[in-house]
Amino acid sequence: MKAVEITEFGAPDVLKLTERPTPEPKAGEVLIKVSASGVNRPDVFQRKGSYAPPPGISDLPGLEVAGEIVGGNIDEKHNPFGLKVGDRVCALIAGGGYAEYAVAPLGQCLPVPQGLTDVEAASLPETFFTVWSNVFQRAQLGKGEGGENETLMVQGGSSGIGVTAIQIAHALGFRVFATAGSDDKCRACEALGAERAINYRTEDFVEVVKSLTHDRGVDVILDMVAGGYVPRELSALATGGRIVLIATLGGSKSELNMGEILRRRLTITGSTLRARSVEFKAQIAQELKTNVWPLIEEGRIKPVVFKVFPAAQAAEAHALMESSEHIGKIVLDWS
């Protein structure tokens, strides 16, 4: 099969199209003929040598694919969606997505939502699994003490994660705020469901969200920046609020006022998804199928694909990712 490999750690041009043996599915896995592969920030980190795949996982980058099941071991006991050979699926995988064929645990495969192309479907798994597990499972965005829906702020609202978090939370009835790095990106976030998007280059997100919540603050902040943002985020939280970290693009160290955390019962948590168990990810898949897939099929949540590259142009796709000029997802097309 054709595949895109990391020939050495470095700039985007280290990504090269090559030939690799077609992978063989193990117990509980299926073989997918890949039509499209999502491009994500962790792929960039892996290319630079700072995010190695878990033991036993392909060294090829790529954490999400869409295509057709063409073989494998379909265990009906662990097949909640009744998938079979010939079905179109999108899947979260721990590596190996930049290829014409990929293996995926059956529990991490979801049927392609009705009405979506494979390119659109390939843009879903990584961000949807990440947002659901962090915002709704870990940070427990839900009803407040008075029974009203809580509020969410999304840092980096125009990123793949950001457009997903905004849309899911908005579609489920939550009040959403977001930050982005330009006025155009802010308008895009608002078009997707953010009540107010804040240009972090020209505005103070703490002041804005405090003013929009009558000085109460927000209940949950989804943060991929960390660093110097965290102490400011504490000030933007309501009493009992939670910050959930999913990346440290702004640095891994912060200086915090622990007294503020104690007095206002604040929580700082976080997680990474790649190394979690198949069972954990399969549970997320089932919750997405129940709670989110119907919203996609109703058109209330839409894939936001910024640009599609032929798979051979993976280097150009990574260069775009690193420029941060995109809004939404970047996808590789294997057709």
pLDDT score at 327? 97
What's the CATH superfamily of 2-124+274-333? Medium-chain alcohol dehydrogenases, catalytic domain (3.90.180.10)
- The tens digit of pLDDT for each residue in 222-261 reads 999 999 999 999 999 999 999 999 999 899 899 999 999 9
0.75 exceeded by the pTM?
yes
Domain boundaries, the chain: 2-124+274-333, 129-270
> How far is the C-alpha of 44 from the C-alpha of 40, rounded, in Å?
7
Burial class (CB in 10 A: 0-12, 13-18, 19+), 114: exposed
Residues of the chain with pLDDT under 70: none
Domain over 129-270 is classified CATH 1.20.190.20: no
Q: Is 243 helix (H, G, I), strand (E, B) or coil?
A: strand
Residues 6+ apart with CB under 8 A from 44: 318, 321, 322
> What is the per-residue DSSP string for 48-104?
HTSSPPPTTS-SS--SEEEEEEEEE---GGG-TT---TT-EEEEE-SS--SBSEEEE
> How far is the C-alpha of 66 from the C-alpha of 44, rounded, in Å?
20
- For the chain, the farthest-separated pair of C-alpha atoms sits apart, in whole angstroms, at 59
